[in-house]
Structure 1
Amino acid sequence: MRTILGGLSACLAAGPGLAQDAAFDVEAEAQICAGCHGEAGMPVDETTPIIWGQEYFYIYTQLRDYAAARREHEVMTGIAAEYDRDQAKQLAEYYAAKDWPAIQAATEEGDARLANAGITGGQCSACHGKWEGDSRIPRAAGQQPAYLEQTMKDFKNEVRMNAPDKISTMKQLDDATIEALARYLASL
């Protein structure tokens, strides 16, 4: 009995983070995530983003933004609120280490022209470069087109508020350009 009480006292003295970290199983958590984000990296729904192979810091930041309600989603806000900082980092590391899955995305006639006009006008390449992500910048190439479209429209309509510079950029683009840009980026 004395040993059990001594061990319990040591855990309590170490703080709540120790108990949480010992219980966090990133593989088990990833199985929960797979319910929407897919078993092999292909999301179940077209409006759900691919997170396999996404940039580490971007995933981590989005989890923290959901938890702090800087970004809202009916499912992700509650889930992310349950993760402490270390758990969010573990999940971000787990997904960033995965290979990006290939999707089938089609463009429509004129998409490249409209998309390039939007990219030039919004100076998107200044940050996004070749669209494959870079540390804090998310990969957009090969991302779900419906997710990309919704994300850009959410910025434009000030639904998504966790990247103010994107709001002003997306407000410059009409919906037809955003739709073409989403299809174009998905096809890269």
Structure 2
Amino acid sequence: MTLRSARLLVLLAATALAPPASAKDGFVLDDEVAICAGCHGEDGVPVDPEYPAIWGQQYFYIYTQLRDYAAGRRENEIMTGVAAEYDKDQAKQLAEHFAAQTWPAIPSQAQDGDEALANTAFTAAQCSACHGKWQGDSRIPRLAGQQAGYLSKTMHDFKTEVRMNAPDMSNIMKQYDEPTIEAMARYLSSLVLH
């Protein structure tokens, strides 16, 4: 663990223990972005395969997730405490900042058979009715090129109802077994939008 990572963990632990605030005192966008970069990457490529790429993600989706973490509708040992510090305007500033960035190129490759299995699952659940061509749209997140580890974790969290801020997704994910979820995650991660 680097010294920077250790400092970040201490900062995040202190943040998680702090009582929720209506607005973060001394909020400076660049400083908050630097904190976010500790996990989500200074160049948009997250430091862990289970962390989402947020550079270039949909504005309203980012904003909603921050508010859901703050309200306890979505939980994460780091993000719940971090998001609870921001008021609506601060969450909007962060969402605007990250949405304005260029989506990072994260190398990923699907395995043989992933595309067919994923497309069968997508068709059965009518995923394209909301997710379209996987590029995202306002409240719907971009999935194309997202980290496979994060997509897999998210689908499992919906399936097991760990993540509760999209009940329809929980119902859909309960249909799928482990190989199907992993195939969907790898396939979506491998998609490159032009």
Q: CA offsets per residue over residues 82-135 of structure 1, 9 Å max, x none? A: 000100000000000000001110111110111001101111100000001101
Q: Of the candidates 170, 173, 178, which is equivalent to residue 175 of structure 1?
A: 178
Superposed, 1:1-188 pairs within 5 Å as 23-188=26-191
CA RMSD of aligned residues (A): 1.4
Measure, in 2, the Cα distance between the counterparts of 1:107 and 1:58.
26
Preserved CA contact (<8 Å) 1:65 1:162: yes
Q: Report the TM-score when normalising by structure 2.
A: 0.85
Measure, in 1, the Cα distance between the counterparts of 2:110 and 2:56.
23
Preserved CA contact (<8 Å) 1:128 1:137: yes
* Structure 1 residues 174 and 27: alpha-carbon distance in aligned structure 2, compared to 1, 3 A threshold: same
Q: CA offsets per residue over residues 18-60 of structure 1, 9 Å max, x none? A: xx58832111100001000000000000000000000000000
Give the structure with the larger helix fraction.
1
Measure, in 2, the Cα distance between the counterparts of 1:146 and 1:136.
22
Unpaired segments ≥5 residues, structure 2: 1-20
Measure, in 2, the Cα distance between the counterparts of 1:107 and 1:119.
16
Using the TM superposition, name which of 167-176 and 80-89 deviates more: 167-176
Measure, in 2, the Cα distance between the counterparts of 1:71 and 1:139.
18
Using the TM superposition, name which of 87-96 and 167-176 deviates more: 167-176
Unpaired segments ≥5 residues, structure 1: 1-15
Preserved CA contact (<8 Å) 1:122 1:170: no
* Structure 1 residues 54 and 77: alpha-carbon distance in aligned structure 2, compared to 1, 3 A threshold: same
Larger radius of gyration: 1
Measure, in 2, the Cα distance between the counterparts of 1:46 and 1:21.
29
